[in-house]
Chain A
Amino acid sequence: MSEHLPQTNYLDPEVLQKLGDLELIAREVVEGLRVGSHRSQLRGFSTEFAHHRQYAPGDALRTIDWRVFGRTDRYYTKLYEAETNFDCYLLMDASASMNYASGKVSKLEYGKFLAASLAYTVLKQRDSVGLSIFDSEVRAYLPPRSSMGIILQIDQLLREIQPTPRSSIAKQLHDIALMINRRSVIVVISDLLSDAEDILAGLDHLRFDGHNVVVLHTLDPYELDFPFQGAWCFEGLEQEEPLTTQAERIRADYLANFNAWLETIRNGCTASGIDYATVNTSTPLDEVLSEFFFQRQATTQAGAARGARP
Chain B
Amino acid sequence: MTFLNPLLLLAGLGVALPILAHLLNRHRVQHTPWAAMQFLDRNVRVRSRQLRLRDLLLLCLRCLALILLVFAFARPAWRNGFAKWIPGEARAGVVVGLDVSFSMEQGEAENNRFQRALNQVRVIGQQMQDGDPISIILLGGKNKILCRNMAFDQQRLDALLQETKVSSTILNLDQVPKRLQELVDDMKAHQKEVYFITDNQARDWQQVSAQFDDSLVDLQRSANLFLVSVSGEPTNLAVTDFKFVSGALRKGTIARYQATVRNCGIAPVTNVEVQCRVEDMQIDSNTIPIINAGRSETVSLFVPFHNSGPTRITAKIIGDSLLTDNERRVVAVVRDRVSVLCVDGTDGDAGRLVTAALLARGDGAQDEDYVVRSVPWLSLPSQSLDDVDVIILADLPEITPEQAQLLSNHVRQGNGLVWFAGREVKPTAWNEYLASENRPLLPAELGNPVDTSTALGAGRPLDAAMPDHPVCLPLRSLPEDLFSETRFLRRLDVQPTSNSFAVLRLAGGGGPLLLEHSLGRGHVFQFTTSADTSWNNMALTPVFPMLMQQIVTYLAGREYERPRIVGDPLSLSYVEQPDASDAVFDSPSGETISVPVQQYRNQFLALLENATEAGFYTARVSVQSPGMPVAVNVDSQESNVASLTNAELETKLAATNIIIASSATELASAIKTTRTGRSSWRYFMLAGLMLLLIETLWSSRLSQQRQTRSQADRPITNAVTGAPNA
Contact = CB atoms under 8 A, between A and B. Distances in A.
B721 interface: yes
Given A253-B713, A260-B724, A261-B722, A243 B28 contact: no
A231 interface: yes
B714 A249 contact: no
B39 interface: yes
B710 interface: yes
A232 interface: yes
Nearest to B726: A256
Interface string A43-55: 0000000000000
Interface stretch (B29-37, B589-597, B635-643): B29-37
Interface stretch (A9-17, A125-133, A189-197, A205-213): A189-197
Range, interface on chain B: 20 to 34
Contacts of B38: 193, 240
Interface residues of A, number: 40
B696 interface: no
B45 A97 contact: no
A100 B32 CA distance: 9
B672 interface: no
Contacts of B160: none
A246 interface: yes
B723 A250 contact: no
A249 B726 CA distance: 20
A305 interface: no
B44 interface: yes
B722 A197 contact: yes
A261 B723 contact: yes
Interface string A244-273: 111001101110111111011000000000
A60 interface: no
B456 interface: no
Contact of A253 (B34, B37, B710): B710
B717 interface: yes
Nearest to A264: B722
Given A232-B29, A264-B723, A245 B48 contact: yes
Given A234-B32, A252-B710, A240 B724 contact: no
Contacts of B724: 260
Nearest to A253: B41
B455 interface: no
Nearest to A224: B36
Interface in B1-60: 25, 28-42, 44-45, 48
Contacts of B25: 231
Contact of B710 (A193, A223, A249): A249
Contact of A235 (B34, B45, B721, B723): B34
Interface of A: 96-100, 107, 191, 193, 196-197, 220, 223, 228, 230-238, 240, 243-246, 249-250, 252-254, 256-261, 263-264
21 contacts: A97-B35, A193-B38, A196-B721, A230-B28, A232-B32, A234-B32, A235-B34, A236-B34, A236-B37, A237-B37, A238-B35, A240-B37, A243-B40, A243-B45, A246-B44, A250-B710, A253-B41, A254-B36, A260-B718, A260-B723, A264-B722
Given A234-B40, A235-B31, 5 more contacts: A231-B28, A231-B30, A238-B35, A256-B726, A260-B724
